Chain A
Amino acid sequence: MIIRLEPDEKLLAETRRHWLVLVMDEIGVLLAALAPFALILVLNILGLSIADKRILPLWLFFTAAWWLMLWILFWTIWTAYYLDVWYVTDRRIIDVEQHWLFSREVSECRLEKIQDITVEVRGLFAHIFRFGNIHVQTAGQAREFKISSIPEPHALKEIIWDLHRRVTSTTPPSQP
């Protein structure tokens, strides 16, 4: 599903999970990138020198191939992180859940339908780096909106409440 803003709709906030989440996801890739250097140690134990005229190009070749694979993996993780996003406009919240490549879910809720917003900050790192989860309960919708590990969740909550107040004060009450 492609996101299309309505005419005159303004994008006010765009938020993703905290950068620390991305770092934690990528740390395995970064550590794996050091594996070729561990291979040099293994070769040394076996009595083979990396300076050998055949060993060095071979090591270089397979190291570059390994890094190329990790390079793709790095950007795949980044893409899944970056496309998992919340857009807050002056009319609605759009929740894009990108779990992995080819696994994408887009849902939205109108600001006037919001009934409750809960902020959840759990754990030492969440307090130090100031990130947390936001739950949005909406009227007439079974699904709860949730975004995990976003930076400054209290500030976003205030933005959403402020927008909600503005929208509900200008929207005439619906007829029973």
Chain B
Amino acid sequence: MAYILISRKNQPWQNFARGSSNASFWPNGRQRPLLLSSEGHFVYNKTMIAEIIMRYLPQRETLWLIFKVIVGGWVLATIVLAYHWQKYGQELSSLKIRMNLVQLIFYIGAAGLFLLMIFAILSYPIY
């Protein structure tokens, strides 16, 4: 089994971990993702991390909630940017056309990314 080294030797918390009788296992007998190697290093078990990730994947409702927060943040940021584009980007006629083009590109790009997010949520399985 492959391990990734994550810490240095001889840390006080390692001694604490060594002192416990069964540091590598949960009380229910399952192996902990955080292990002590024979050299006394803390190591991670990759398979167990993957297992934990898969176990705690979010629900689709959670993704919708995150999506709503992102939309709110985007609206606020866009108000700030649009304020600059409208107030300072329109002051001379030479700037006007370019700023309008920039706004168009910005909104098209953002719309594309929002659609991608919606597509991702809808293709995420309900379980």
> Interface size (B, Cβ < 8 Å)?
41
Number of A-B contacts (CB under 8 A): 99
Residues on B with beta carbons closer than 8 Å to the beta carbon of A3: 91-92
Q: Say whether A2 contacts B53, CB under 8 Å.
A: no
Q: Which residues of B contact A173 (CB under 8 A)?
A: none
Q: Is A165 an interface residue (CB 8 A)?
A: no
- A17-60 interface (Cβ within 8 A of B): 45-48, 53-54, 56-58, 60
Contact B49 A46 (CB under 8 A): yes
Question: Which residue from chain A places its CB closest to the CB of B47 in the assembled complex?
Answer: A47
Instruction: Say yes or no: is A76 at the interface (Cβ < 8 Å to chain B).
Output: yes
Is B97 interfacial (CB 8 A cutoff)? Answer: no
A71 to B108, CA, bound (A): 11
**B91 and A57 within 8 A (CB):** no
Say whether B63 contacts A61, CB under 8 Å.
Answer: yes
Interface residues of A in 78-130 (CB under 8 A from B): 78-79, 82-83, 87, 96, 98, 101, 104
Q: A71 to B54, alpha carbons, bound, how many Å? A: 30
The verdict on A47 contacting B50 (CB below 8 Å), with A11-B94, A68-B114 known, is: yes
Say yes or no: A65-B117 contact (C-beta < 8 A), given A71-B110, A72-B81: yes
Q: In the docked arrangement, what's the CA distance between A64 and B47, Å?
A: 27
Say yes or no for B25: interface residue by CB 8 A criterion.
no
- Is the CB–CB distance between B49 and A61 below 8 Å? no
Which of A60, A64, A79, A87 is close to B92, meaning CB atoms less than 8 Å apart?
Answer: A87
B85-114 CB mask vs A (1 if < 8 Å, else 0) is 101110110100010001000100110011
The answer to whether B77 and A72 touch across the interface, beta carbons within 8 angstroms, is yes
CB contact between A83 and one of B49, B77, B88 (< 8 Å): that residue: B88
Contacts of B57 in A (CB 8 A): 54, 58
Q: Identify the stretch in B13-21, B35-43, B119-127 within 8 Å (CB) of chain A at 4 or more residues.
A: B119-127
A contact residues around B109 at 8 Å (CB) = 71
Distance (whole angstroms) from the CB of B111 to the closest CB of chain A: 10
Whether a CB of chain A sits under 8 angstroms from the CB of B70 is yes
CB distance from B11 to the nearest CB of A (A): 25
**Chain B 57-68 against A: per-residue CB contact (8 Å), 1 yes, 0 no?**
110000100110
CB-based contact B117/A64 at 8 Å: yes
Residues of chain B lying within 8 A (CB to CB) of residue A47: 46-47, 50
Q: When the two chains form their complex, are residues B91 and A65 in contact, meaning their CB atoms are under 8 A apart?
A: no
CB < 8 Å neighbour of B74 from A48, A57, A68, A82: A68
Leading 6 A-B pairs by shortest Cβ distance: A61-B120, A60-B120, A57-B124, A64-B116, A64-B117, A46-B50
**Could you list which residues of chain B lie within 8 angstroms of chain A, going by C-beta atoms?**
46-47, 49-50, 53-54, 57-58, 63, 66-67, 70, 74, 77-78, 80-81, 84-85, 87-89, 91-92, 94, 98, 102, 106, 109-110, 113-114, 116-117, 119-121, 123-125, 127
